[in-house]
Amino acid sequence: MSDRIAIIDHGKLLQLDIPRNLKKTIGSGDLIEMHLAEREKNEAVIADLKAVKGILETNDVVGKINIRALHAVSLLPKIIERVDATRTRVSDISIRENTLEEVFIYLTGRGLREWW
């Protein structure tokens, strides 16, 4: 495994750092990806989640709600409570850290598959 990773686009060095620092370039914390049973309520839930302390960012990405938060697992009860308050339910939820592919997309504006 490598200690440092270089992200190069069209022959230009964009970033060179350890994976943990590269992942921080697109935001701190964990990413919660949540699908609601009723997608039309996404905007109402997003607006309500902005009041939850510890949530850094919320947005709608192709019908799912992305929530960036520090210590995301500890916020899940509050998040589910806010969803319940809008009279809908969560149909799917996952929590993960940033990936190096997301860093590449953020820095270059395109995915790895588009590169080839």
pLDDT digits (tens, 9 = 90+) for 69-92: 888 899 999 999 999 999 999 999
Residue (of 65, 29, 28) closest to 48 by Cα position: 65
Helix, strand, or coil here: 81? helix
As a whole number of angstroms, the distance between CA 27 and CA 59 comes to: 14
Per residue in 43-69, pLDDT (tens digit) is 999 999 988 999 988 999 889 999 988
Say whether both 90 and 111 belong to one domain. no
Same domain? 49 vs 73: yes
Co-location of 21 and 33 in the same domain: no
Are both 41 and 84 inside the same structural domain? Answer: yes
The residue among 56, 54, 58, 51 whose CA lies nearest residue 33 is 58
* Cβ–Cβ < 8 Å for 7, 1: no
Q: Hey, is 22 helix, strand or coil? A: helix
Instruction: Kindly report the backbone phi and psi dihedral angles of residue 26, in degrees, each rounded to the nearest multiple of 5, phi listed first.
Output: -105, 10
Number of domains in the chain: 2
- Same domain for 87 and 109, yes or no, is no
- Residues 48 and 14 reside in one and the same domain: no
Residue 114 has pLDDT above 70, yes or no: no
Rounded-to-integer distance, Cα 87 and Cα 85, Å = 5
State the residue range of the domain holding 78.
28-97
Q: For the whole model, what pTM was predicted?
A: 0.70
